[in-house]
Amino acid sequence: MPMSFRALMRYSLASLCAVVFVAAVQAQPAAVRGAPGSPWPAVQSAAQPAGAAIDDYRLGPGDTLGVLVFQNPDLSLDVRVSESGLISYPLIGSLAVGGQTLIEAQMALARALRSGGYVRDPQVSLVLRQIRGNQVSVLGQVSRPGRFALEAFSTRVSDMLAAAGGITSAGDDWLVVTGSREGRPFRKEIDVPSLFGPQPSSDDIVLAPGDTLYVGKAPQFYIDGQAQKPGAHRLERGMTVRQALAAGGGPTARGSQNRLRVHRKDAQGRLVEAVPQMNDLVRPDDVIHVGESLF
């Protein structure tokens, strides 16, 4: 029987809408689609920074997850990872997800729903709503001290220094990483310049949740007497008395580099005075006195 004009128009319009919908889904970037085999599109969370390696991120205490179960709106809700790495979820109760990636936790939740007989073929998607677990503290002489999330499982010391804005001009060339490894206290001193050399450094270690990076103040020396710029100055590595005198602007018109004295503490903590040579190394907290010329 020939199709009426009105029915033909309805059929054509429905076909056009279907084509547009399929094209729109295929045009979505991979980052915003759901998990493989899931018809539920993943939702971008404001907690996920652009370019972060979310696939490598390991869930930790305080993280908030958005759970989406296709065709089961009652099971779609937000959950929080407890201090013991558990989430509380309807029907199945507590589920351990601490230390797992999003994909691993997603599969574990789907298995629990399936094995409990609650959903025959659960299509589950997880979204990282808020990152609070797996944090590292960066303290001391950095531009932005504070707590930072380990957005990837392979975050290294250099990555975390960059996140904290780098070391300030008053910061030391060494930093200390403290934390725990395999249940034991962990402490490591790291030479910062070696992290950025031409070759990869073994000091650029992978950080663990709960680690603390501390950058202290750089060592100083002092110049007084007949110096152009008396006061405290940063002690650079391998700095000699000649270089320290130059950092202080050199002697004044009344001063003489031949009448230098260095005051420093000995091994017993006593203050001693010595006549330095120009190529002698300066030590932290040395006080270099520039005496007056005899003529």
Domain of 279: which CATH number? 3.10.560.10
How many domains are there within the chain?
3
Positive or negative torsion for Cα 90, 95, 97, 98: positive
What is residue 99's predicted lDDT score, i.e. its pLDDT?
A: 86
State whether 43 and 125 are in the same domain. Answer: yes
State whether 230 and 281 are in the same domain. Answer: yes
Closest residue by Cα to residue 95 from 74, 110, 73:
110
What is residue 169's predicted lDDT score, i.e. its pLDDT?
A: 92
Report long-range pairs for 193-199 (Cβ below 8 Å, ≥24 apart): 195/157, 195/158, 195/161, 196/158
Positive or negative torsion for Cα 164, 131, 150, 53: negative
State whether 168 and 125 are in the same domain. Answer: no
State whether 39 and 77 are in the same domain. Answer: yes
State whether 40 and 126 are in the same domain. Answer: yes
- Provide the domain limits for residue 166: 135-217
Among 182, 200, 217, give the residue marking a domain's end. Answer: 217
In a domain, 3, yes or no: no
Q: Which amino acid is at 33?
A: R
What is residue 182's predicted lDDT score, i.e. its pLDDT?
A: 84
State whether 67 and 111 are in the same domain. Answer: yes
Among 165, 189, 217, give the residue marking a domain's end. Answer: 217
Helices (H), 116-269: 157-163, 192-195, 241-247
State whether 211 and 226 are in the same domain. Answer: no
Q: Which amino acid is at 251?
A: P
In a domain, 4, yes or no: no
- The span from the CA of 239 to the CA of 286, in Å, is 12
What is residue 54's predicted lDDT score, i.e. its pLDDT?
A: 65
Q: Tokens 């907690």, residue?
A: 47
Helices (H), the chain: 5-26, 102-115, 157-163, 192-195, 241-247
State whether 121 and 145 are in the same domain. Answer: no
Mean pLDDT split into 10-residue runs, the chain, 295 residues: 48 44 37 34 34 66 89 90 90 90 92 90 87 85 91 82 94 95 92 88 90 96 96 95 96 93 91 94 96 84
State whether 115 and 42 are in the same domain. Answer: yes
Provide the 10 A C-beta neighbour count for residue 251: 21
- The span from the CA of 84 to the CA of 189, in Å, is 30
Q: What is the CA radius of gyration of the chain?
A: 32
What is residue 217's predicted lDDT score, i.e. its pLDDT?
A: 96
In a domain, 202, yes or no: yes
Among 200, 217, 234, give the residue marking a domain's end. Answer: 217
What is residue 46's predicted lDDT score, i.e. its pLDDT?
A: 31
State whether 269 and 229 are in the same domain. Answer: yes
* Close Cβ partners of 96 (under 8 Å, ≥ 6 residues apart): 85, 86, 108
What is residue 152's predicted lDDT score, i.e. its pLDDT?
A: 63
Q: Take residue 40 and report the two structure tokens written for it.
A: 């539920």
Closest residue by Cα to residue 171 from 117, 234, 223, 83:
234
8 A C-beta contact, residue 233 and residue 248 = yes
Closest residue by Cα to residue 79 from 148, 126, 134:
126
Closest residue by Cα to residue 205 from 262, 146, 160:
160
pTM: 0.60
State whether 210 and 225 are in the same domain. Answer: no
State whether 107 and 149 are in the same domain. Answer: no
C-alpha atoms less than 13 angstroms from C-alpha of 68 in its C-beta half-sphere: 17
